[in-house]
A and B are shown apart, each in its own frame.
Chain A
């Protein structure tokens, strides 16, 4: 008889970090046939100190060498029965067989056939599916029928002793076919089996049992192994989650999927569309790696690119932020996701704003916003992949304005963040009463301040250069005048305000209208002019306007000009005012005061035409015409005949004297004073 030493091992399967232990006790029967085996397991919370680093678990039944070897004839008979003949039985074939049996579930032979069909195509699979389904139904039907038969049989048998109860479980057919109590049973003694047969049965039973124990053991061990792998994976996963949390990211449960964790990297104050996208699930790969699951969002890194176009050429391009080199770390992936989200939102908001700015010449394409700054300059904004940015760099014909492009790209990002802050402020204010109409969220101010600033700057530059050239003309005629400019005077000194943080006040400055002033004193005493440039980014009237105020004591009727929009008109007005002043200055240069009686004195006759008249003692009239532009100053004198009145046009008269002053003209030129003195001679 094959015997085995009975053992009752009580084993602790380590199940680390789950802080629970499976207690598993198995009691192997000494004689498999007589005592039932009991399996019990319970979950216990154990202390981690029990975590054994060893995994020595004799789950498998130990098969001891049998005391007496089987008799050789018996073995020969077995081999013959099992393998046919000795020739078939080689060591190699045996090993193969062992290998093949190793993993095989002894009851799973039927499954093997199925596995081969794994690679059939879909239609066949469908067919197979239906077939299998039919089979299952058929089997189930058969099982049901057999169970019914069995039930009928037992019911009929019992109806002999307990007809009332048995009747309830009998089928209708049986009731009709057989009367109750028509079947009886008796206990009979089976004929005694021969000892050899009993021994065989015992051996077979023992063999089966051993095999099953083995199987159970390997299943447990596999499960243990799997658990181990799982635990390691979980450990790694949680470690990474913790690392993410320690970096300061907000880790939370996903609102829709309560089982999963998510990391919040988006901006709470963004548009709902982007706010909700700022949450990605932290999923675990099979090996425990942390996977950032952003759903259907493309994984590309994108950024808003700013390009400066000047006279059709691109002369500046901003840098698009690159993903960091350390692509694999979770932190950098979260950062990348956040940056991309921010950039997408930025572009979305720019687009939204650009659409309402159509009346200011802003145009949009599918993925491009064009913002005109001046007649020659344009800003292009688009959303590009970071590598695409690389590729198209050669498209820029020069890089001279890269700094400006970068400055703009920084500005728009700051302005979006500012808009977020404003949103927070609005959100945390006490809300208005619930009303049927909700106020729509107005577009953020991102492009408008940038546009206004650039526009304002370009206007300042124009006015500055215009005044400078005018000044050079006047200096050529040796006329002293004083100009001063206060650029962006609206941006003053930041006052501390306890209601708003400094950064917000700082950005707020750029949302307010810009203002610059140019002022200058003119030739005649106490006369001056002032040009004020205002650019309003948001509140209508949008755009840049000039206010020109003058203080000409000689011409009190001259009115200041307000809200001039065109540069040409401004240039005209300023030139005109200076010309008026020149005329006044000439008339003030009165020779009478100097006590030279021989000279004529000039009187301003038609100031707005720059005409002066002089009459000498002999009654001879002379006329002087002053014309001024930002390129030159020209003064001519004509003589008028006696009979002609003041009002008569004098264009046909030939010039007596003429002098043109141009900046940078070579050779000595007389000053205006000298020229007038000369012209005053009779």
Chain B
């Protein structure tokens, strides 16, 4: 799958107005979206990274050696959550029922990590080249098992790096998904944990990454087959059409390619 994108930065004071405008444009009420995003990094076994040079290499060996030096990527595992999942009732920690459960879960929190659905969302580095007016990149997404995701991800060659939360409103405009969002960071107490949090802090304690409180407007359209030129053109036209329609409100632009680099060094 391919994804075509345009971005705009929306200052905090414009946020409300833009919501209204988007609601009018798309003729729908915004959908609230709150996601946990876990960042995983592909790892390589230590000591095996250096390609072995040698004589009499078969084609297969050449191919394998080439593979060994192929790119490795960061990938995200995304899980939908709701605001109710955040631990809003710390005061009820003395709840006897919760204590009976005898687990490491925070008392009073309704969040159930064991049932958290996950989705793998891989994004390649945006394509370089002529289509500089729009960000285009290869994507892949797959539904993953619920609950503990680190164990299978480790087995598949990925290690957990960090996590954050994305909060925003989604609009659908024909084929385009408009996502007006911001990134929230977990409060840091001491050291950052080495695995996904099993309980969530209070939502109030989440702090926006962008201190000014500004939002990102992302307009995305996905194309099943990126090699289908006609489809890609249609998608382009749709996005440009949206850019024109929103011209008086925001300026949608492509993003800097290297700022969306997902390659793991």
For residues 145 through 195 of chain B, which have their beta carbon under 8 Å from a beta carbon of chain A? 170, 172, 174-177
Chain A residues contacting B175 (CB-CB under 8 Å) are 431, 434
Residue on B nearest A424 in the bound complex, by CB: B28
By the criterion CB–CB under 8 Å, are B221 and A434 in contact? yes
Chain B residues, CB < 8 A from A268: 27
Interface string of A425-437 (1 = CB under 8 A from B): 0011111011110
Which A403-437 residues have C-beta < 8 A from chain B?
A: 424, 427-431, 433-436
Shortest A45–chain B CB gap in Å is 25
Contact A434 B222 (CB under 8 A): yes
Bound-complex Cα distance A680 to B51 (A): 102
Q: Which of B31, B224, B234 contacts A428 (CB 8 A)?
A: B31
In the assembly, what is the distance between CA of A428 and CA of B177, in Å? 9
Asked if residues A433 and B1 are in contact (CB atoms below 8 Å), the reply is: yes
User: B8 near A: Cβ within 8 Å?
Assistant: no
**Given A436-B228, A436-B231, A431 and B174 touching (CB < 8 A)?**
yes
Say yes or no: is B98 at the interface (Cβ < 8 Å to chain A).
no
Q: Which chain B positions have C-beta within 8 A of A427? A: 28, 172
Contact code string A263-283 (vs B, CB < 8 Å = 1, else 0): 000001000000000000000
Within 8 A of A (CB), among B1-40: 1, 27-29, 31
* Contact between B28 and A434, CB atoms less than 8 A apart: no
Instruction: Report the nearest A residue to B175, measured CB to CB.
Output: A431
Most buried by B among A427, A428, A433, A435: A433
* Secondary structure of the B contact surface, majority rule: mixed
Cα separation A431 to B170 with both chains bound (whole Å): 12
Known A428-B172, A429-B172, A430-B172; contact A435-B224, beta-carbon cutoff 8 A: yes
For chain A, residues 424 to 471, give those with C-beta under 8 angstroms from any C-beta of chain B.
Answer: 424, 427-431, 433-436
Min Cβ gap B245→A in Å is 11
Give the shortest distance, in Å, between A255 (CB) and chain B (any CB): 11
Distance to closest chain B CB from A381 (angstroms): 30
The total of chain B residues at the interface (CB under 8 A) is 21
A residues less than 8 Å from B170 (CB atoms): 430
Q: Which residues of A contact B246 (CB under 8 A)?
A: none
Contact residues of A: prevailing secondary structure: loop
Does B244 make an interface contact (CB < 8 A)?
no
Are the C-beta atoms of B224 and A431 separated by less than 8 Å?
Answer: no
**Is B221 a contact of A430 with CB atoms below 8 Å?**
no
Contacts of A430 in B (CB 8 A): 170, 172, 177
> Would you call A433 and B172 a contact (CB within 8 A)?
no
Quick check: B234 and A434 within 8 Å, CB to CB?
Answer: yes
Contact A435 B177 (CB under 8 A): no
User: Which of chain A's residues have a CB closer than 8 A to the CB of B1?
Assistant: 433
Q: Is the CB of B223 within 8 A of A434?
A: yes
| A435 in contact with B225 (CB, 8 Å) | yes
B136 within 8 A of A: no
A428 and B175 alpha carbons, distance in the complex (Å) = 10
Does B219 belong to the interface (CB within 8 Å)? no
Residues in B lying within 8 Å of A, measured CB to CB: 1, 27-29, 31, 170, 172, 174-177, 221-225, 228, 230-231, 234-235
Q: Please give the residue numbers on chain A whose beta carbons come within 8 Å of chain B beta carbons, in ascending order.
A: 268, 424, 427-431, 433-436
Q: Nearest 9 pairs between A and B by C-beta?
A: A435-B224, A433-B222, A433-B224, A434-B223, A428-B28, A431-B175, A428-B172, A434-B231, A433-B1
Given contacts A431-B172, A434-B224, A436-B231, 16 further A-B contacts (CB under 8 A): A427-B28, A427-B172, A428-B31, A428-B172, A430-B170, A430-B172, A430-B177, A431-B177, A433-B1, A433-B223, A434-B221, A434-B223, A434-B231, A434-B235, A435-B224, A436-B224
Give me 11 A-to-B residue pairs in the complex whose CB atoms sit less than 8 angstroms apart, sorted by A's number. A427-B28, A429-B172, A430-B170, A431-B172, A431-B175, A431-B177, A433-B224, A434-B175, A435-B223, A436-B225, A436-B231
